[in-house]
Every structure is written in structure tokens, then in C-alpha cells.
Structure 1
């Protein structure tokens, strides 16, 4: 097999195997957005979508056997039975045989299979059996671990499900007409004909035709790559448009609502959707490699390059010195097998799966297994303020006029606004609507009629509703962020009088809001104006010349766990930065309450006017960023990553989704909006920052255990090859038969199966840990030759003391080195797992100790027991076992001394 083919196979392996199946929808979204596949749809799907767009609403509903009030439950069940669940084929698990094949087809197993084939063709059946056992062990262990982790992931996935608001038709009796009833259903249960309601933050769960829309903006970046949202309408404006993605009244699975609201009927689900059709074309393409995957890639290629250099040397030295090129080839191939970390996929999978299960007990759901390692590598955590640092239990603390005096009219207008809006309802609205006494006094259902609304978006940062109290006028009520509402106010209410807004009044108003902010209160402005009842549809242009009525102020106290959690993260080397859309005064107050010292505050306006180069410097200095838009958050995270940080982002709102996608590790909560949960890698079932510390520590434990395997394999293999080179050059026979190398390697691999369950020293958890392939290479060069020193000492012992210095005595020589080689390889597991003194200052886990003891016993038993002849070994003389402890103790002593020197010089990761 030539090097190019192997490299391509290995690259494909790393792309398509993330060491455990995980949530794939977001990865597939990104693949579709960046894929170079054709965007043309099957003609039948295009025709279906275009026909749905052009069809009259009544005719479309009739063709879907539906109605405006939605399907009945039994009708939906029957349709689902016929068309299947609303799932994309790509998301389904592989059948067992395909999964088994994927576990097998990596370069390491291919090399072993090649060697087994050569052994079989040369009638070396013993070697064939041993090598086949290695392949079987590696494949089955990985398959078993991935099946376990997949089942665990599926169980965790069931705990976090995105839902859709669906209208289902119901009637009290058969004689009464059907009436719509709202219900939240998992998106997998949707069927063609379902009528759904959409609002800001929702993932669109299927391909749908809009029935009604109000200021609806949809992000279609997953489908088209367009960064800006597009506005959608209930009717197609251009009759000459035939590209489904450009049709105004169609929305597609996998896109999300940025602002506005709508009702829609489901036209296509699952593989019959646009997204499903593209998924079939993109195939198994996944998102770009993470820092974790890139690290595994680099380390693996380091070992493979080393193998491709050393193996030919072994072949030529043995071929020229021994004259038997067939035997030399088999021996060289055995050395190549010894250099391949064939257990790496299994070790990584089981280590990550163990971490995911551990975190699930802490009510943390891991959507992507390799996100655990990024958790441990994270050195900067960017977090939203509301609901993250704070309790997310907002209470309405004050309702005042523009001068700070208590004013009931402000609360009444805010109540009407929150009561009638249908867009993105947040906790502020919930806090307002909890005032039942206002509801009783106003009786909005009887005394008011909703005319229209202008939904919230993150550019305007305000929203309005228009209500009619009497038929002679309409009342537009606007509430939102103070500066954004003031921007459309020309007057201010002062008692019963209306005063024109001027610079003096504006300064006084801002002073009042600043005082409220300094108390830690979040201030929302309320403004209004009366309009003649001349129209029933209102838009952004109507939000002008308003009268400021006053403010509603909310208290969102910090969580009790926030201060100790921030302190713990700081102690573990994680810098916390607050990125919020709220104003800087409230943010500063909350930060002071939780013990986060402000090292510099930046506003969204500052971010806006800076170049990337300027902002890259400032993001290192500042740790509080306020008045940010979603684009600002994403830009800050991107520049922190460009500066070399591993960045986590924690948020739960639609405005957090871009930053969640950009971060190395996105963290959201189960109560977050759909798009935030879909973009995140980690889902918290409870909003507690303390669990982040648990995640960071578990990530570091996971990384440390994976790194142990890499270090052990690299250094041990390097030392073995050096020993083989020396022996091949000076000894007139093979220092070890190919089968001996293979058995030794198989036993060594078995001894490492328990590494994922090993203990990790507390010192190893104090700072972020990252993949550093250059350090692995240096570590290999430092520690590999130590075993070679004692291997050469063993050669001298067998040659001069036991006189195993002729081809006739080679079995004795090979048996002596086999035992020393296996025992030192097994001991290196305990020596390198910690910078401390093993067994005394740092003790391995019981499974690893037991497994190591068993393998060492087997290693001694093979030449001393009845199977010795089968493995072409022989019993060692009693004197050998006098020297053996001395060799092992000297080996451990020198390794410990070298560990101290290495740690002082380079550190120990």
C-alpha cells in the first residue's frame, strides 16, 4: 500500500469518525451551506414546492386533507404511518454491519490486515492468528464502546428535544364544529398538513407554505449561504420566480425565524423536504475538524511518519545482515504494527463516552462527544448576562414616569403590549403579565381589540402593538430598550401635560434611567400615540413621533452559585468575559455583585467602529461588553479564537446563536430557544454555572487520559524500534520473532484498555490543556531511549551471562528480551501516567492496576508455562529472575529522574 493511498484513507477516517456518533443536524447544515454539490432538487420536489407556493390556500389545505384549524390527532397519526417520521435519513444510526465496517476501516487495522495476509501466504499461521486477534480486538472493542456511547447519547438526546407549536383540530362533540387547540409537539411528529405557528427563535421544522406572516424575517444561511435574513410573506409577490428558495411564501426545514411571527402549513417532511434532499447528496460530510480532531490528526501522522522512516531501516539492516529477506520483511512489518496506535480510536471513544456519561449525571447533555475535550481546553468563557449570571427569575420592581415617580398608566400600557404581542415573548413579558390586578382592571378581552403588531427584532430592539379601545381611535403602544425608544419619541408625558422633547428633558430622562440602572434594575421604556382608525395594517414607519410615558424596571438578581463558580473557573485558568445586549450600568452592577472585577468595558458602538486588528487587541483587555448585537457577539468570539484562545460561549437566546456556532464549544440550556439549542455542543438541564466547573474538570480528565495513551505509545514504540535497530545491526539472528513482537503488542494493548477509567492528579486539572503535537515528539525522544538502555543491558545479560549468543540459542535470547520488553512496556503505563512518584504519590485506578498485573503475569507465564513451545519461547533459568527485578527497578529509577528533569525544563501536560 503506497503512502499516498494510506494518507487519503487516514484523512477520510479522521473526517468521518468523530469517535462516537453525535447530533449531526447542525453539522449537516454547515455542510450544506459550504458544500460544492449541486443545489438542484429532484424535479418532483421542485414541482411540489412551486405548486404549493402558487396554490390558493383553500385548495392547498384541501389537497393536504387539512383545514385552518389543523389536523385531528388521529388524522396526523394515519399520515405519519404512511409517510414516516419527520427525520432526515442522515440522522439515523448506521445499521450494525455498516457501523462495524466503519470501526474496522482505519489505517491501523488495514496495516494489520496486510500483515496477516502476508503471514497467511507464507504459511505462518501462528502469526496470522495473533495479528487477526489484534484486528478483532481493536475493531470489536471500538464497536462495543461506540454502541454503548451511541445508546447513551440517544438517551441523552431524548432529554433535549426541539418542539413546534402546532394547531390540532378538536371538538367537544361530533355535532360541534372543530376548533383549533395549540399544543407543543416534538418536530419528529409533524406531518404534511399540520398547521404550525412560528415566532422569533423558532427552528422551522419542515418545508412549509405560509398562511399568514407579520414582519417575518428568516435566516436561510444553512440553505443558501446568505448571511442576511430574508423577509417572507403570505403571498408570492413575483409570479415569474421558479427557484423554490426565492419564493416569498415558502420556508424550509433547518432555517430559523429571526424576527416576526407567522402561521404555516407543513408541505414536506423528513427526506421529502428540501433539506432532506440535499442531505442525501451531501452524504456523510461533517463540519470542519475541531481543534480536538486536528490534534488527533497531527499526533497520529507524527507516529505514522515515524513508522514510515523506521520500518524500511529495520528491513534493510536485517536483510543485509541476516540474508533472509522474507524473514526480514515479516519482522519489519511486525515492527510497523508495533508502531501503529491501533487502540487509539477505542481509547478515545471510551474516554469521551465515559466523560459524557459522567456529565449526564450532573444534568449536562453532551451533543458532540469531542466537545468534552474542548471543554477542558477552554481558557476563555464568554457568557451572556441574563439567565446565566442572573437567576432568570425576573420580577417587575418599579413602574415610573419619565421623572421617576410611580405611575400606574405605565404598567397598564406595558401590560396591554405584553398581552397582545405574539412574537418573541421573553421573561420581561412574563413578569409584566403576572400582575393579575391589572388584568382584572383593564379586562383586555372585553374592552380592547388587537388591530396589529410590529414584532421585535434585535436591530430596533423594540416592539409595538396597536389596539382599539373604542372605534374612534387606535392606540400604538411601544416598549423596548431605552435609547431605541427615545429615538422615536418627540414628546414626553409629565403628569397630565405633554411636553416637547428637548435636550434638557432628554438629559433629565437619561439621569433617571441611569439611577435605576445603578440600582441593578433593567429598564424598559414605554411610549404610545393615538392614531385615527384609518387602517388595519401597521409597519415600522408608524413607530415615530411617539410620546414617552415612562419606564418599567425589572430586577434579575444574580444566582447564588455565580460568584463561587466564577472564582472556581478563574482558579482553573478560565477567563470569563460578559457579552450582553443590556446596558453597561446594569451589567457593571451585576458583575460587581458576583465578584467579577471589571478590567475594561466596551460598548457595541465601540465594536462597530473598530477594525478587526484594533478589536483583536481590545478583546484581550476588556472583560465586559455591553449593548451588543448578535453580530457583535459573533465577531468578538471569532477574534478571541484568532488570538489563539479556545473559546466557550454560553447563551440561550436567538441573539446568541451566531456566537454559539462560532465558539469552540457552544453551551446552552434546555429552556433556550430552538436555534440556540441546535447551535450548541453542550446543553445544561439546569442553569447553574457550578456545573461548568465540573465540565471543565471532566474535559481535562478526559484529555489527560487520552494523552497518557499517546505518550505511552509514542515513547514505548520509539524505544522498541531503537532497540530493534541496535540488535539487528550487531546480533546474528533476529532479536525477536515477528510473532513475539505481535503477541507483546497485543498484550500491551490489552493492558491499556482501562486507561479511560484511570485517576488523574489534581495538579493536571489546574490549567487548560491542549493538543501540542510538537511536545509529543519531544517527549518521545526523551523517554523512548530509556527503555533502549535497559533493552541493550538485557541483550548483554543474555549474551554474556546466559550465553545465548548463537542462532541455536536464539530462543533463549528472544524469551529473555520478550519478558523484559513486555514488563517495561507495562510499567511505563504507570511511570508516564503522572509526573509524581507512581504507586506512592499517585496511584492508578484499580482497573488499570489489576489489568497491568494480569498482563505482567501472562508475560512471565508464556515462556515459563506449557504454551512456550507454541509461541517459540523457552523457560528462563532461575538466575534470570534475580536480575529481572534489578533491571525493572533501575528502569523505574532512571525514568523517574528523567521525569523530574523534563518537568522542570518543559513542564508536564
Structure 2
């Protein structure tokens, strides 16, 4: 039975209850049965409770039920409007402070300053809006998952209708390749197999048959149900609709996803904290400075100007824009690494990840089943090759063999090829399989031996596979009479076999041989291989063809070991995670033995595997303890994933969760960063995610983590650099005030420094390459401030140094020529900061280690800042605007010499610290 965790969570929201779709006045479906119980009934009981039969509902009854239960559609979350997305860009505390600063500037008669600040704020918002709206346009979701058309039987007639018109009790026809339009109880099935990976995470198609099941059967094992949003991959059948719209399993999970609220990213929280701190500091310093000035009997208007200058000096006006631009550039870099970021801060959040909860199929593995070993009574053969391309060798030991020269191996491949519905096709982009992945693997193995079904005769009879029989038989005309080719669970075939083919001889199957083969089958299974056996039998003339008469006295041919092979780059990616201090947890709907074997092959260390049932038996504390050592979780559901995220979050982990199915959507939304698969991911998963993995490759996630760490390092670099520059401005203004000097910098000059000079160099710092050991460091603490204690100290020391140098330059000239003195202070502070920016390229490595020209953008930014400052100093209209006077070449040379020790001191400090660290 479906876990009460999900059911109760949905009931508490008031959003969903059994059999209620859109209207609170709607009544439950016929029988009033809870949705989770249908699988415990028989086909006749389901029909009786829903008031339907082999002829389906009458058209009138269908219309009445449509009015009662509502349309078979999902209730979607209303998408944000353009205005809402735009206004969300102003939520940052730092942005609010800048708006307040602009208002104050306007009120005290500085409209130019106010306009400049507001222009920066609006441009920043437009950039953020553009990135997020484009991502939203690219990923439309929920409503696309339910099929648009469905074939139903109403009044005894087949008709195609809009799937939104399905109601409980409708009789729906299913064919291969179609999506299931609602939750159905299967009443007829012929070789019916359904791919439920979008819902359960199970990689293998599920056989469907109209049998009642015991209470407590897990969702992935409900073989008498077909669920909305899944796909028929083989056979055909019919099913009675038991749930539609939001009451389907799909709808319930989608509803749960809608209730999960987004959380602020670590960077957003840190920037808000920094904004609040800077706002309080600006207010406090401005008030204090005005008070000191008034005590010095300075004019009130002058002190208002000083207060505005200080407020402008404290707040790094360019910081929000530089952060936004850096994240936008990072998004483009991540796209080159196959990571499509949907929200700007998510790219940096990826760099803070400490735990990656990853799916197995298609992410750690290729999602292409392949035969890797074949065991016949005469030999054991390894099969090489990857993917569905029919290229590979058959090896005994290390020696290639001709598979058609071995009669036993040839007959095995011939049988699994004929007893098969899959087709291998070469299309644009490569080889692909039409049919189930397991059958496809057998077809590819036969193709590697040069076999195909092109010249095969038409089948005379088929006995279909289902979960009860666990075997499939197709009868073909043989050279003399008819031959039955059988494939299925090898232990089932062995039980029905009396002989086996060894070489070109048929020999009796003794009990000892049977036991030995069963032991080898168990060994294959424990190694994570999916095992499929084959047998055949020439049918005697006159035999009545029934399941029991045909499928007995079989000649056992052997069995194949099939696996979804790991991606070759996944093992190296997991090793990188280990060196970076990132835990990797495999969460899959697949078999625990298979999952554990894949983990072992990839080097993912785990003390066994936990199943969904194991998780339910553990308390939260017990599960938290097990997760420290057990990294493989199998047979899990949507609520299990949410619980794992909650437990990991309780331990301050920053969690990346990957997923591709509907069942993954709540966990994707709940995780610190949700990562949806781009190739096999559903629209619901993509809509719930922060990032879409374009190539479905785990290695791309790790590459994204590296890029995210680089982004954060650069954001920390330019944030600290900007703050050190602002402290320099602050010290210069306050110091001059305390010394009784005139106002050293006017507001428009400070704004020029913060927006133009500092903005250019800070943006260039955002392009700094990643340090060599970026993936050898442990993840940062998400609660740690972007300004650590050491960072505060360095920023403060350098800022005070810059400010005192500026006062020194100004104090020697102001009595002679105030405009020239102020221009020297203005230009000097810019030159000192340009030296200082080189200190912030790395907090640990000197320039000779990272390369002076390794970030050419910074060199251009420094030269560009100097060129712009020269224009400000010498162009008359700019002189008037910014209050500057011409400088001589000697003035520039003096300022360059005064600033050089700032760089030398930083280099000496880093060299000393690096040597101490190495020792």
C-alpha cells in the first residue's frame, strides 16, 4: 500500500483528497474505494465497484461522471508573470539599500548620483529577469505529461477521445508506443509491458497482467495497474480507469511537489546578511560623521554632503551588478559543460554542494542494456562492445572466437533473436532499439555474431511473457517440423528442461548439472547482472500446442548476463567527488543487487544497500547514522527521497538531487539544487529543478560543481576587493574630517570609483580561472560568511592603507590648490585600488604561481580604468562633471610609486603564508 506519509501530507494541504479533482463539491468515484486499494481486487471486482463491463460505460453515464469528477487534467501552479519575475530581482537587501541611497542623494540635491545608482539597479534587475524568463520559456511542464488522445470502449464501440474526457470506469485500450492516459486496472493483457521509470525509477519495463495482489505490494510491483504518464513498450491490453487527474499517482506526486517551497540559496542568504551589515554601518558612520562635523562647527549643508559621501562610500554600488553578471557568465560556462541553469544563484549553489544524491540509470550508467557474458553448457563467453552498435567480439579468456563456429552458442543466439520483439535500427544520431532494453540487448548480441531476423519465417504461435509465467515462447517452422524457442528466467527454464545442448550434442540434464547451473546463475545475479535464460524444443508432429505441452521437455541452451554498463567517465567523477569532500549517494528504483554492483564497479564505497522497506523500518536518527556509511538506496519512492533530503539537511548538508521522473519532482524542488535529466527527464522533473543536465551524465554534474566553486571563489574575491576599496574611501573621508581637512572626495567621484573603476576590475576578477586545487578542498560551510575573520582582517588592513595613502596625497596639496589636491586624491585612490586588485586574484598563491597574464580580462580592465581616468582628468566637460583638474606626468609617476608597496606587501604576505602551509 502506498505510504501514508505521502497521503497524509496531501490531505493536510487541503489540496488533494481521494477522487477529488477540481471542485470541492465533487463526490468520490463509484464504490468510494481509496485509490491505494484497487490493486488488491480482481478484474471482476473492479468492474463491479465502478459499474462498468466489457462494453465500457454508456455515453450518457460517461458524461454524467465527467460532470461529477471533473476533467482528467493536472492542476498546475500558476506561472509567474513577467512583472513578478522582474520585481523578484529587487528582493535583495543590498538592492533595497541602494534604492534608499538613491532617494537620499536626490533629496540632498545630488540628482546625478541618484540617477546613476538607479540606472545600475534597473540594469541589474533587467539582466536577472532576462536570464530567468528565458529559462522558464525553455522548460514548460506539467500539462504536457498526460496524453492528448485515448482509445476507449463506450457502449461497446471503440472511439478515440480527448484524454481529458476520461472518467473512472472507462475501458481504455492500450497499444505499444502509447502513453497511459490515467491510472488503470488491467483487465486484459497480451505481452503487455509498461515503462514505469518516470514514476517509480525502475529501469526495467514491468509486465502487466489482470491478477489481484496482496495488500502491501509496493508501487513498483503492482503488475495489475498501469499508471498515468508511463509508456507501453510492448504488447497490448485493456484497463479500467480507477483514477484521473490529480488523484492519479502522477497527480498526487505533482501535488506534493507544488507544496514544497523554494529555499534561499547560500549565496542569497550571505548577500542579504552583508547588505544588512553594510546598511547599518553606513547609517552609523554617516550619523557619527555629521555629529562630529557639527561639533567642529561646520556648516549643516556641508555635513549633509559628507553624510551622503560616506553612505555612498560604504555601499559597493557595483556589487549586485557584478554578482549578477558573474553568475550570468558562469551560466554560459556551465552550458558548455552540459549544465543548463534555470535560476542565476543555482550555479553558485552547485559549488557549495556537499552531498550529491544521484540516480543510477542513465546518469551513472549508459542506459543501454548490453549482454556482457553468455554461459552455455559448453563454454563461458565474454561479449565486448558498448551501446547498441552491433560492434564487438566474443572472447573465451582473452582469445576471440567465431560465435557461429560453436553450435551451442550459435543456437543460443538464434533462439534469443527469434524469441524477441525488439528491433535494432540505424537512425540519424546512431543505433537505437525499438522495444524493451533487455530484449534489445539480446538482439544486439545476435547482431554482433552476424545474425538477424530478416529471413526468419513467420511465427506460428506465441505464448506471451508475464510476471507469473516468467517465460516467453514463440513457435517457428523448422527444417523438418516446428521448433519452440523459449526465453525467460533461467531457473524457470531449468525446471522445465530435461536436456541440455553441449557443443553439438544433446545430453541429459542431471540433478548435479542443474544445481551447478543454478549456482552459476546466482553468481551472475549477485554480481549485479540481469540473467536471462534460453531453451528450445523441436515439437513432435501432432502435438496440441498449449503452454503446458509446448513448454516442457525443453533443451536448455544457457543464459546471458545483461547489464546497463557504467559510464566510463563516472568512476573518475566519483573519485573527484571523494577528493573534493563530496558524498555521493546512489538513489535508484532498481534492484539492490544491481545497484550495489554498479556502485562497486564505480568505486563508490558503501556498506551494502538499503531498500525502501529498510528506510521505513529505521528512525530518523538511525537512518542518519546509516547514511554515513551506506551510499546505495534502492527501491525507493518519492516520499523516501524527501525524507533523505530532510535528514541530510538537518546535518547542514548542501544537497544536489538528480532525477528524471515524476516521482523525483518533490525531491528536486526540496533539495538545495535539483538537477533534472535533459534527455530522459520528464517535463515535471525539469520544471521542479534548478538545473537541467543536458547529457544526463554524472560527470557533467561534477564539472558543474567545479565551475560553481570557481564562481563562488570569484564572488568572494571581488566582494572583498570592493569592500577593501570602500573602506579606503571611508577612511579617507572620515580621516580628513577628523583632521579638519576639507571634503577629500565629493559624492560623484566616489560613485565613479565604485561603479566604473571598481566595477570593471571586479567584473574581470569574476573571470579568474579556477585554482589548481579547487577540487581538492572540502565544501565550504553554507553558514560561513563570505567575509571570514581572516578576510575581515585583510580587507580592513588594506582598506585603511589605501585611505591613509589618499589622505597623505591630499594633505600636501589642498592648501595650495584644492581642485588639484582633490584630483590627486581621486586619481591616487583609483591607482592604489588597481594595485590592490592584483592582491585579490588569489588569497593563497603569489602572482608568479597563478600567472600574471592568466586572466587577460583583468589586464584589459586595469588599462581601461586608467584610460577612463585620464579622460576624466583631461577632457573639459568631464572635468566639470566630476570636479577634476589636469595632472602632470610627474603626478602620475608619484601616485604609481606610492601605490606599488600595496602590491609588494600582498605578494610577500602570500609567499610567507604559502611556505608556512607547505611546512
SS of 2:562's equivalent?
strand
Residues 90-129 of structure 1 aligned to structure 2 (within 5 Å): 90-91=78-79, 94-95=81-82, 99-104=85-90, 106-122=92-108, 124=109, 127-129=110-112
Partner of 1:515: 523
TM norm structure 2: 0.64
Partner of 2:36: none
Partner of 2:331: 356
Query: Is the alpha carbon distance of 1:352 and 1:507 closer, same or farther for their aligned partners in structure 2, counting shifts above 3 Å?
Result: farther
Q: Deviations over 1:51-70 (max 9, x none)?
A: 99999865569988999xxx
Name the CA distance, whole Å, in 1 between partners of 2:415 and 2:241: 36
The 8 Å contact of residues 105 and 308 in structure 2, kept in 1 or not, is answered as no
SS of 1:721's equivalent?
helix
1:149: Cα distance to partner?
6.1
Structure 2: state its 5+ residue gaps.
1-5, 33-49, 200-207, 211-223, 381-407, 423-433, 476-483, 501-505, 536-544, 546-555
1:147: Cα distance to partner?
1.7
Partner of 1:447: 461
Query: Is the alpha carbon distance of 1:394 and 1:103 closer, same or farther for their aligned partners in structure 2, counting shifts above 3 Å?
Result: closer
Partner of 2:771: 762
1:135: Cα distance to partner?
1.5
The yes-or-no answer on 1:376 pairing with 2:351 is yes
The 8 Å contact of residues 314 and 728 in structure 1, kept in 2 or not, is answered as no
The 8 Å contact of residues 693 and 701 in structure 2, kept in 1 or not, is answered as no
SS of 2:815's equivalent?
coil
Query: Is the alpha carbon distance of 1:314 and 1:633 closer, same or farther for their aligned partners in structure 2, counting shifts above 3 Å?
Result: closer
Query: Is the alpha carbon distance of 1:140 and 1:650 closer, same or farther for their aligned partners in structure 2, counting shifts above 3 Å?
Result: closer
Partner of 2:807: 795
Partner of 1:21: none
Work out which of the residue numbers 324, 341, 355 in structure 2 matches 1:366. Answer: 341
Partner of 1:828: 836
SS of 1:512's equivalent?
helix
Query: Is the alpha carbon distance of 1:375 and 1:297 closer, same or farther for their aligned partners in structure 2, counting shifts above 3 Å?
Result: closer
Residues 727-876 of structure 1 aligned to structure 2 (within 5 Å): 727-748=736-757, 750-752=759-761, 754-755=763-764, 758-763=767-772, 765-767=774-776, 770=779, 773-774=784-785, 776-778=787-789, 779-799=791-811, 801-804=812-815, 811-834=819-842, 835-838=844-847, 841-843=851-853, 845-866=855-876, 867-876=878-887
Name the CA distance, whole Å, in 1 between partners of 2:571 and 2:722: 42
Query: Is the alpha carbon distance of 1:33 and 1:897 closer, same or farther for their aligned partners in structure 2, counting shifts above 3 Å?
Result: farther
The 8 Å contact of residues 417 and 465 in structure 1, kept in 2 or not, is answered as no
Query: Is the alpha carbon distance of 1:793 and 1:698 closer, same or farther for their aligned partners in structure 2, counting shifts above 3 Å?
Result: closer
Residues 702-717 of structure 1 aligned to structure 2 (within 5 Å): 702-717=711-726
Residues 451-530 of structure 1 aligned to structure 2 (within 5 Å): 511-517=519-525, 521-523=529-531
Name the CA distance, whole Å, in 2 between partners of 1:525 and 1:306: 71
Partner of 1:602: 608
Name the CA distance, whole Å, in 2 between partners of 1:346 and 1:265: 57
1:744: Cα distance to partner?
2.7
1:326: Cα distance to partner?
5.0
Query: Is the alpha carbon distance of 1:371 and 1:65 closer, same or farther for their aligned partners in structure 2, counting shifts above 3 Å?
Result: farther
Query: Is the alpha carbon distance of 1:716 and 1:656 closer, same or farther for their aligned partners in structure 2, counting shifts above 3 Å?
Result: same
Partner of 1:542: none
Q: Deviations over 1:282-321 (max 9, x none)?
A: 99995223xxx13331243134224303532332233233
Partner of 2:907: 896
SS of 1:602's equivalent?
coil
The 8 Å contact of residues 183 and 228 in structure 2, kept in 1 or not, is answered as yes
Query: Is the alpha carbon distance of 1:327 and 1:103 closer, same or farther for their aligned partners in structure 2, counting shifts above 3 Å?
Result: farther
The yes-or-no answer on 1:430 pairing with 2:427 is no
Name the CA distance, whole Å, in 1 between partners of 2:65 and 2:440: 33
1:152: Cα distance to partner?
6.2
SS of 2:879's equivalent?
coil
Query: Is the alpha carbon distance of 1:35 and 1:392 closer, same or farther for their aligned partners in structure 2, counting shifts above 3 Å?
Result: same
Query: Is the alpha carbon distance of 1:689 and 1:280 closer, same or farther for their aligned partners in structure 2, counting shifts above 3 Å?
Result: closer
Name the CA distance, whole Å, in 2 between partners of 1:659 and 1:684: 16
Query: Is the alpha carbon distance of 1:864 and 1:708 closer, same or farther for their aligned partners in structure 2, counting shifts above 3 Å?
Result: same
Partner of 2:123: 140
Partner of 2:269: 297
Name the CA distance, whole Å, in 2 between partners of 1:152 and 1:658: 20
Name the CA distance, whole Å, in 1 between partners of 2:332 and 2:237: 39
Mean Cα deviation higher: 193-202 or 637-646:
193-202
The yes-or-no answer on 1:881 pairing with 2:892 is yes
Q: Superposition RMSD on alpha carbons, in Å?
A: 6.6
Q: Deviations over 1:179-224 (max 9, x none)?
A: 879xxxxxxx9876799989999999x98999989999999x99xx
1:597: Cα distance to partner?
4.6
1:618: Cα distance to partner?
4.9
1:832: Cα distance to partner?
0.7
1:758: Cα distance to partner?
1.4
TM norm structure 1: 0.65
Mean Cα deviation higher: 695-704 or 191-200:
191-200
Q: Deviations over 1:384-414 (max 9, x none)?
A: 5554444443234667799999799999999
Query: Is the alpha carbon distance of 1:268 and 1:815 closer, same or farther for their aligned partners in structure 2, counting shifts above 3 Å?
Result: farther
Residues 28-427 of structure 1 aligned to structure 2 (within 5 Å): 58=57, 88=76, 90-91=78-79, 94-95=81-82, 99-104=85-90, 106-122=92-108, 124=109, 127-144=110-127, 146-147=129-130, 150-151=133-134, 154=137, 157=139, 167=149, 286-289=261-264, 293-322=265-294, 324-381=299-356, 383-396=358-371, 427=437
Q: Deviations over 1:419-466 (max 9, x none)?
A: 69xxx985224335777999899999863476x9669xxxxxxx9699
